[in-house]
A = this chain, B = another copy of it.
Amino acid sequence: MKIVVQKYGGSSVATTDKIKEVAKKVIKKKEEGYHVVVILSAMGKTTDHLISLAKDISDNPDPREMDMLLTTGEQVSIALLSMALNEKGYLAVSFTGSQLNIQTTAMHQKARIKDIEISKLQKSLKEDKIIVVAGFQGVTEDNEYTTLGRGGSDTSAVALAAKLGASCEIYTDVDGIYTMDPRKLKNAKKINKISYEEMMEIASLGAGVIHYRAVEMAQKYEIPIYIASTFSDKKGTIIMNGGENLMEETLITGMASSLEDIQVTLLNLTSCTGSLYRLFGELAQQEANVDMISQMLTEDNKMNVSFTIPKTDLHIAEGIVDKWRKEDKSIQWEVSTDIAKISVVGIGMRSHSGVAAKVFELMAENNIEI
């Protein structure tokens, strides 16, 4: 029997009524003759609520204990969905990342999946059970609980699909991938098929529908991902190899905007290559996701460098800069929090001149400072 991995996001399981709706959707797939493995996120705003509890206690909570705290969110969802499936007369069983031995690296809050032991899953599938797995979480060799970072449930789903040779469906509160966020732009068009590469571009730029690393992993294992709405039957978007036709047809596949980044600028650095290597090396070591980088030499042969990172990684940059300034007090730094990142994605950016110019023109016309 074919196996399908279905992932439902936090807004899809925000209330017990919504969980019952998800149960119906899962059962429908089961009745179509599939083995179903479900990955869930935490209910609605649960993760935000847990984070606010932690912030009440500490400005900089211990990452291990944050993972101890946050993994409870998905555990609640999986128990409730299993109950809902049992209630409808279907055998279902839930597993945490620890129980399923979703092995990850030991970097708390940003762990990466190393491997998944599927013997337990296979046993439950043989018993014809629907399996409900906590997304976003895993476990180290020492049985320490870890989380995969925001949006990590998508990655859990793709990893499980890859291990099980299953297809992968991601259900969310939008009914597919659009050329632009449909909540922001009314005449945004839905994309039926998109290549991994283009989806990664869009995802990495903060479009939010699917996690960047999930698409990266899907490409690696050639798992097509179907993205659709939990609560409608509208046709969604498929992410797969061979979105070429689409790329030939359109100059711009999509645009994305994000308010989640900050720009950090360091002034008066000495010794160009060495210090850049050291700066981005230390940022990478602490898994801060550096995005846009620009540098500039000053007249007195010093260097200024700017880069963007997620707001949530500000403390990492602060730590590194504080250490540097102890060594060289002439280094200054500035942080701009009031920025937006606008991204334009599509083959046309490279092959057709004038696309960037058109974008800049539109910005100017609307008085947006670049």
Contact = CB atoms under 8 A, between A and B. Distances in A.
A86 B99 CA distance: 28
B80 A53 contact: yes
Contact of A68 (B16, B19, B50, B75): B75
A290 interface: no
Contacts of A57: 16, 19-20, 80, 83-84, 87
Interface stretch (A58-66, A201-209, A274-282): A58-66
Contacts of A145: 99
Interface in A27-77: 50, 53-54, 56-58, 61-62, 64-66, 68-69, 71-72, 75-76
Given A53-B76, A72-B72, A143-B99, A87 B65 contact: no
A94 B68 contact: yes
A141 B144 CA distance: 18
B62 A83 contact: yes
A79 B147 CA distance: 14
Nearest to A75: B72
A323 to B, nearest CB: 21
B61 A83 contact: yes
Nearest to A72: B72
Contacts of A143: 98-99
Contacts of A69: 75-76, 79-80, 83
Contacts of A65: 79-80, 82-83, 86, 94
A93 interface: yes
A58 B16 CA distance: 10
Assign chain A's interface to a size class: 35 or more
B78 A68 contact: yes
A31 to B, nearest CB: 20
Contacts of A144: 99
Contact of A76 (B72, B93, B94): B72
Contacts of A76: 50, 53, 69, 72
Given A16-B53, A53-B76, A76-B53, A86 B58 contact: yes
Interface of A: 16-17, 19-20, 50, 53-54, 56-58, 61-62, 64-66, 68-69, 71-72, 75-76, 78-80, 82-84, 86-87, 93-94, 96, 98-99, 143-145
17 contacts: A16-B56, A16-B57, A20-B57, A54-B83, A57-B80, A57-B83, A57-B84, A57-B87, A61-B87, A65-B79, A65-B82, A65-B94, A66-B79, A69-B76, A69-B83, A72-B76, A98-B98
3 smallest beta-carbon distances between A and B, as pairs: A69-B79, A16-B56, A72-B72
Given A57-B83, A61-B83, A98-B143, 14 more contacts: A19-B57, A53-B80, A54-B80, A57-B80, A57-B87, A58-B84, A62-B83, A62-B86, A65-B79, A66-B83, A68-B75, A69-B76, A72-B72, A75-B75
